[in-house]
Structure 1
């Protein structure tokens, strides 16, 4: 039974790309075993709330399972799972019911200065071993780039991510002519009827992203999609993400796991969730930059394949604490 004797929370601003902020949580039990968790782009009050409440929730408290820790924070929940599974010598993927030892990866490509440049980038990724590419599209950057990529690569599996940016489905129906596998996040969150109408008109699967299992209900009732875009970092706990997986699978949906930002720990949890039986679509942990990661080995794809660490306990990655502390902008520690 874990009992935390020391906890530490660090605020890290990652040095590359969009300079994403992460909160990292380190839990140490009385035997010296540690567990780590990460929240990417946390809500503004997360830091103060953890500083005020976390000590009372965890320090010197016996708990039998991560679900019994009432933190309500994804980084704390992840750290509890990491510690709990490390103490038992089992991988996180195995503990939550994962079955895959490797995952196919998609690579996500943002809009470019020109269509020619985009096609060149697609070529680079295909040469690197990717057989699945997700193109970010927006109003004004959609049909023409997709048409060009499809003309250059007739057999490539393509998906598009609309970033919830569309209010009209006309352009998205036009995209369906280019053999897309998935149209991700077409309309603003909660516009269930627009999603249902689009799904009725296209052969591609519409994918929706939710932040709680209950949010799935309306989409399921109206058959407004066929894919759940499951971003574990968006859920308050790993068990809640697992429940969303189970509900989508029961409805016959496919699932794509995603989570490419952060310092590496959140990506590792995404891979663990991605090993679940219902996660049938390529996993997305490929968003650059990899240089932000403070874990070993780096979480990412090799030749379009992501390894699931089924031979190591917990998240399956070690933390480079020296580099982490160089990146930390602030921290606090509580000791029992």
Structure 2
């Protein structure tokens, strides 16, 4: 998309938007409860004008396994429904308002909003951290460890990440690979290790007593144990499992976060800007949790940027 009209006396405006596709192989296979990823099909948006360029990266995967969105679908929605709404003076904020009538498609919305936001911040020389109100320049980083073929291999992988300097370990779990591997990691690396688990919606409420066995390992949290639609069921699960429950896939907006907190479905939220429609909505979720004293953290989606 291109725009050519530009009054030199007006603020810098968007001249062109490009969609770019790429492909990379992962360093090693990444297995979760919903499948194995060995590569990433990538979608980027480049917004440019007057020598300034902003970028956004779509977090959707190749197949609709983590969520209902997938990268080819995101490109289609962007081309057909979202890009036609962008004018040469569109901002991230005005774009967010213009796509409220488009149901869902949060990952597609996020990649375009992010590119617009990056563009407008770069043109005025403001960092994303400053825009969001960051109070630190460095944060402690953890790593997500995929499901491994054996416990011995899991321990080897965890040791490697600890040697690399990661301060927190998140283990992917699924039925049949949960209690034993967590016990092995905790006993091998000790109680001081910051340890959490992520089920990616692999369990049902009927598994509550089984999941309660994780309580003995003093975990930071158990992330998204039940399907994303079952927010109320997480509140029931929290009555049986004493390990703090963190919601990820279920949290699609600040309003969903508010309702989840109101009913006790979680006590921690994983904020992923690319999953909730972009940084503007992500900040609303952060601010809601800050007001309520609820812990949050920011997870990744195997992005390249």
User: Into which bin does the TM-score normalised by the smaller protein fall?
Assistant: 0.7 to 0.9
Residues 58, 147 of structure 1: alpha-carbon distance in 2 compared, 3 angstrom cutoff: same
2:22 is the alignment partner of 1:8: no
Superposed CA deviations along residues 68-104 of structure 1, whole A, max 9, x for unmatched, are 1256421111111111111111111111212221111
Match of 1:229 among 270, 289, 293: 270
Q: What's the TM-score, normalizing by structure 2?
A: 0.79
Contact 2:58 2:111 in 1 (8 A): yes
Residues 131, 38 of structure 1: alpha-carbon distance in 2 compared, 3 angstrom cutoff: closer
Match of 2:237 among 198, 211, 216: 198
2:217 is the alignment partner of 1:181: no
SS at 1:14 equivalent? strand
Residues 158, 54 of structure 1: alpha-carbon distance in 2 compared, 3 angstrom cutoff: closer
Alignment of 1:68-147 (within 5 A): 68-70=94-96, 72=99, 73-147=109-183
CA drift at 1:176:
0.9
SS at 1:36 equivalent? strand
| Separation in 1, partners of 2:304, 2:182 | 31
Alignment correspondent of 1:240:
281
Match of 2:59 among 23, 40, 43: 40
SS at 2:17 equivalent? strand
Alignment correspondent of 2:293:
252
| Separation in 1, partners of 2:283, 2:160 | 34
Contact 2:13 2:89 in 1 (8 A): yes
SS at 2:181 equivalent? helix
Larger RCO: 1 or 2 (CA < 8 Å, sep 6+):
1
SS at 2:139 equivalent? strand
Alignment correspondent of 1:66:
92
Alignment correspondent of 1:297:
none
Contact 2:208 2:241 in 1 (8 A): no
Residues 87, 111 of structure 1: alpha-carbon distance in 2 compared, 3 angstrom cutoff: same
Superposed CA deviations along residues 265-320 of structure 1, whole A, max 9, x for unmatched, are xxxxxxxxxxxxxxxxxxxxxxxxxxxxxxxxxxxxxxxxxxxxxxxxxxxxxxxx
Residues 53, 219 of structure 1: alpha-carbon distance in 2 compared, 3 angstrom cutoff: closer
CA drift at 1:185:
0.6
The alignment yields a C-alpha RMSD, in angstroms, of 2.0
Contact 1:232 1:259 in 2 (8 A): no
| Separation in 1, partners of 2:233, 2:215 | 16
Residues 195, 48 of structure 1: alpha-carbon distance in 2 compared, 3 angstrom cutoff: closer
| Separation in 2, partners of 1:53, 1:243 | 25
CA drift at 1:47:
2.3
Alignment correspondent of 1:288:
none
Instruction: Count residues in correspondence.
Output: 261
Residues 119, 74 of structure 1: alpha-carbon distance in 2 compared, 3 angstrom cutoff: same
| Separation in 1, partners of 2:128, 2:216 | 41
Q: What's the TM-score, normalizing by structure 1?
A: 0.72
| Separation in 1, partners of 2:152, 2:84 | 57
| Separation in 2, partners of 1:95, 1:37 | 16
| Separation in 1, partners of 2:258, 2:133 | 23
Q: Which runs of 5+ in 1 are unaligned?
A: 265-336
Q: Which runs of 5+ in 2 are unaligned?
A: 1-10, 30-37, 61-69, 100-108
CA drift at 1:191:
1.8
